[in-house]
Chain A
């Protein structure tokens, strides 16, 4: 039965499987090289540290992969991540009980998602332009709040319980990593098994046909933007709690990491095709590469160059595989 299933797999599917295999190979290679270059790479402290970064990319990526499959795009996630963290710190510092501030910080992410959705769906602004706009709005707001607080970051005078969420350990692994893990599983289920998947692939593959089939294209895209925003808000709140401060600079380049992870995973920037597992592998690769370069004290600028090359390389890789498979 399994054999007949694999025989009858569509070429698209085969191309995707091959891409996942190649990504897995690259991941092993990256880990091998990193271990050889720096013994610190596999240490417990470093692994928790790198997994924290990777988890954030995966978390936003879990919803962003569906958004991109539906032919849309969110550039604002980096700055929304920063704003949620800054607001979490600012609110809990200014008298709002930390648990309430925590929820509100996540909701700020949702609100930005809804704003993006409204601009794209309601006002029909191209996703790249709309989310570029909200990206700057979020960035500006994060800096303004930090400035009102009286500095570059919101660090001093935070309540004692501010760091509880980020610092609590369950066994050898931080609590928030468990939660992120569960969330990613939930979104994997959403991706693999629910109607949302059907809608996203149909809309990204042919928006007109989807509309003529009675799919509520606007509501689906709106939902996806809100999901991306919410997860990003959660990630921002978590990072702030973990670091014990809200920093407007924390999200720089985050949107880029998410896009690289999704595209590296075989999702087309034009929508209509993509893979969740690919995104997970992509996030691990981009996270490990960045981490190793950090450990080797390679300057930030070189990292940016390398990530840029990885993005272009990923697109080329996907294309070559697809052409091979016909």
Chain B
């Protein structure tokens, strides 16, 4: 490592970064270098620590330990504004442009100079940004309304702003999530051109194909730890086929499976509990599948593949076309209330904002899906409510002071158990679980998994929607692979289930 401060090869030096949240280590001892004028990719599963890393680099979070050297100097941004001034900008998934304004107005947004409290137009600033914009995409006119532009063009505006304000580093967080194939190619052309404009790109994505196409280096994170940094030309070096190099990267991302392993449920294939035929919504295209009695069925796909949308469609939250049958009987499932009446319960993705009434006590949350379990003729019994809560606390081993404990003060795992108790109390025969263990520590994760297996053995059919492949492989009897709102493949789980091939399918790779 040369200490040459003039124009060293290394632009950003990350050493032993860690970040603790209460109960979770989001990042542990992460170190890597980002070289000047390269495209440096960061990959990892959900929860691997990618977004925490970005937040630390952009000053949105402060690190718990380690050091960052940027351009040869200590780098300790205390806000995103400060990071931007030092030359690190972010292109967030949620674009920071104002649709109601023109391109010109957007270019000077946030950079207004004022005089005596009045805005002053700075023609030089707009000129400078516009020149950059022209060099990136000449088709964007200065006086067009931003609302009329495509997502990709809006991204270009943000990139132009970042370059014009002398950013050395642009961090792109899943920039292609909302782009069409064509737009992706245009964006990649721009990213490649950025190298010549003295800009370094840190590129975060799930899609491995993209990384091989534009990346120079790739750093892999898993469970908050750095697994390694590789030069992509090495991975794809002479004599290595594309398939093999992808496999190597996937292996790094997933690592070894945890001690937990798949236990087959006593699936009764002669009884179809739920069947969907050609279900189509805004995001889903012709989804058809069956769910058997005692089965744990898994839906796996990346963000935006349509997992949550399938859960929402079944639970009557989104309008849908197509047929739905429960025990062979056609049903509408148009509202959550109807879904619950027909024996379906949902453990939503966001337990704090969707699953629980956080300010209420444990005892008040558990009967919410089935008030009749504690009341008769509309009058509830506090005694039955207390008894119900206590029995679930015992059955699910919920750790709380007592049944009056306010749920917002419980740990993530215990909160999830309360949501599960709420669903079990509704006597549901079909349990939908969207990201059942997101943000829950390893021990509680396994406990929740065991509870799900117990439910399946007891006659409930469970559908698990997860973006964590190990979870899916540990729990599910069949795995449905999603990509772009469609079912790509239905895989039987077992010792032969090939996680690398699954990854290949859900990242949009060719079938076969």
Chain A positions within 8 Å of B, measured between CB atoms, are 8-13, 193-199, 201-202, 205-206, 208-216, 272-273
Q: Does B368 contact A (CB under 8 A)?
A: yes
With contacts A209-B356, A212-B336, A214-B340 taken as known, whether A10 is within 8 angstroms of B379 at the C-beta atoms is no
B357 touches A194 (CB 8 A): no
B388 at the interface (CB under 8 A from A): no
Question: Are B406 and A215 neighbours in the complex by a CB distance under 8 Å?
Answer: no
Q: In the complex where A10-B404, A10-B406, A12-B406 touch, is A194 in contact with B380 (Cβ < 8 A)?
A: yes
CB distance from B407 to the nearest CB of A (A): 10
The 6 closest A-B pairs by CB, nearest first: A205-B357, A214-B340, A213-B368, A206-B357, A213-B369, A214-B337
Majority secondary structure of chain A interface residues (helix, strand, loop or mixed):
helix
B380 touches A198 (CB 8 A): yes
Q: How many positions in chain B have a CB within 8 Å of any CB in the partner chain?
A: 34
| Residues on A with beta carbons closer than 8 Å to the beta carbon of B402 | 8
- When C-beta atoms are compared, the residue in chain B nearest to A201 turns out to be B360
Given A205-B357, A213-B369; A9-B404 close (CB under 8 Å):
yes
Q: Are B336 and A202 in contact (CB under 8 A)?
A: no
How many Å from the CB of A232 to the closest CB on chain B?
23
Partner of B346, one of A210, A212, A272: A212
- Does B380 contact A201, Cβ atoms closer than 8 Å? no
A195 to chain B, nearest CB (A): 5
Complex Cα–Cα for A185 and B80 (A): 57
Chain A residues positioned under 8 Å from B356 (CB to CB): 206, 209
Contact A195 B357 (CB under 8 A): no
- A235 CB to closest chain B CB (Å) equals 25
With most chain A CB atoms within 10 A of its CB, the pick from B340, B354, B359, B378 is B359
Contact residue among A10, A13, A202, A216 (Cβ-Cβ distance under 8 Å from B357):
A202
B375 lies within 8 A of chain A by Cβ: yes
Contact of B91 with A by CB under 8 A: no
Cα distance A199–B127 in the bound complex, in angstroms = 58
Determine if A202 and B360 form an interchain contact, defined as CB atoms under 8 angstroms apart: yes
The residue on A at minimum CB distance from B422 is: A213
Cα–Cα distance between A193 and B383 once the two chains are bound (Å): 12
Given contacts A8-B401, A194-B378, A198-B380, contact A206 B353 (CB under 8 A): yes
Assuming the contacts A208-B354, A273-B359, asked whether A214 and B336 have C-beta atoms less than 8 A apart, the reply is yes
Count of chain A to chain B residue pairs whose CB atoms are closer than 8 Å in the complex: 87
Q: Which of B341, B353, B364, B367 contacts A208 (CB 8 A)?
A: B353
Q: Which residues of A contact B341 (CB under 8 A)?
A: 214
Q: Footprint of A on B, CB under 8 Å?
A: 315, 317, 336-337, 339-341, 346, 348, 353-361, 364, 367-369, 371, 375, 378-380, 401-402, 404-406, 422, 426
Known contacts: A193-B379, A206-B357. The answer to whether A212 contacts B371 by CB under 8 A is no
Report how far A206 CA is from B415 CA in the complex, Å: 15
The secondary structure that dominates the B interface is mixed
Q: Contact: B406 with A11, CB < 8 Å?
A: yes
Contact across chains for A272 and B359 when beta carbons are under 8 A apart = yes
Tell me how far the C-beta of A210 lies from the nearest C-beta in chain B, rounded to whole angstroms: 7
User: What residues of B have a CB within 8 angstroms of the CB of A205 in the complex?
Assistant: 357-360
A272 CA / B358 CA spacing, docked (Å): 10
B371 touches A210 (CB 8 A): no
Given contacts A10-B406, A194-B378, contact A272 B336 (CB under 8 A): no
Task: Give the complex CA separation of A67 and B337 in angstroms.
Answer: 22
| B359 engages A12 (CB within 8 Å) | yes
Are A194 and B379 in contact, with the CB atoms below 8 A? yes
The residue in A193, A198, A214 that gathers the most chain B C-beta atoms within 10 A of its C-beta is A214
Chain A: minimal CB distance from B355 (Å): 6
A149 CB → nearest B CB, Å = 43
Interface pair A193/B364, CB less than 8 Å apart: no
Q: Is the CB of B380 within 8 A of A193?
A: yes
| Complex contacts, B360 vs chain A, CB 8 Å | 201-202, 205, 272
Contacts of B358 in A (CB 8 A): 205-206
B37–chain A nearest beta-carbon distance, Å: 46
- CA A193 to CA B401, docked complex, whole Å: 25
- Known pairs A198-B380, A272-B359; A212 contacts B364 (CB<8 A): no
B residues in contact with A206, CB < 8 Å: 353-354, 356-358
Task: Kindly list chain B residues whose C-beta atoms are within 8 Å of the C-beta of A199.
Answer: 371
A216 to chain B, nearest CB (A): 6
Q: Is the Cβ of A215 less than 8 Å from the Cβ of B368? A: yes
Complex CA gap A157/B311 in Å reads: 66
How many angstroms between the C-alpha atoms of A214 and B368 in the bound complex? 8
Contact, CB under 8 Å: A198 / B371 = yes
Contacts A194-B378, A212-B348 supplied; 10 other A-B pairs, CB < 8 Å: A10-B405, A12-B406, A195-B379, A206-B356, A208-B353, A208-B354, A209-B355, A210-B357, A212-B317, A214-B336
- Chain B nearest CB from A297 CB (Å) reads 45
Residues on the B chain within 8 Å of A214, using CB: 336-337, 339-341, 369, 426
Cα(A198)–Cα(B360), bound, Å: 10
In the complex, what residues of A have CB within 8 A of residue B369's CB? 213-214
A8 to B362, CA, bound (A): 13
**In the complex, A197 Cα to B401 Cα: how many Å?**
25
How far, in whole Å, are A214 and B380 apart by their CA atoms in the complex? 17
8 A-B pairs within 8 Å (CB atoms) are namely A8-B402, A12-B406, A194-B380, A195-B380, A197-B380, A198-B380, A206-B356, A206-B357
Q: Which residues of B contact A208 (CB under 8 A)?
A: 353-354
Measured in the bound complex, the distance between the Cα atoms of B356 and A11 in whole Å is 18
A8 lies within 8 A of B422 (CB)? no
CB distance from B168 to the nearest CB of A (A): 42
Q: Bound complex: CA of A9 vs CA of B406, how far in Å?
A: 10
- Closest A residue by C-beta to B362: A10
Return chain A residues, CB-CB under 8 Å to B367.
198
Question: Do A201 and B364 have beta carbons less than 8 Å apart?
Answer: yes
What's the Cα separation between A13 and B375 when bound, in Å?
Answer: 22
Q: How far is the CB of A307 from chain B (nearest CB, A)?
A: 29
A213 surroundings in chain B (CB, below 8 A): 336, 340, 368-369, 422
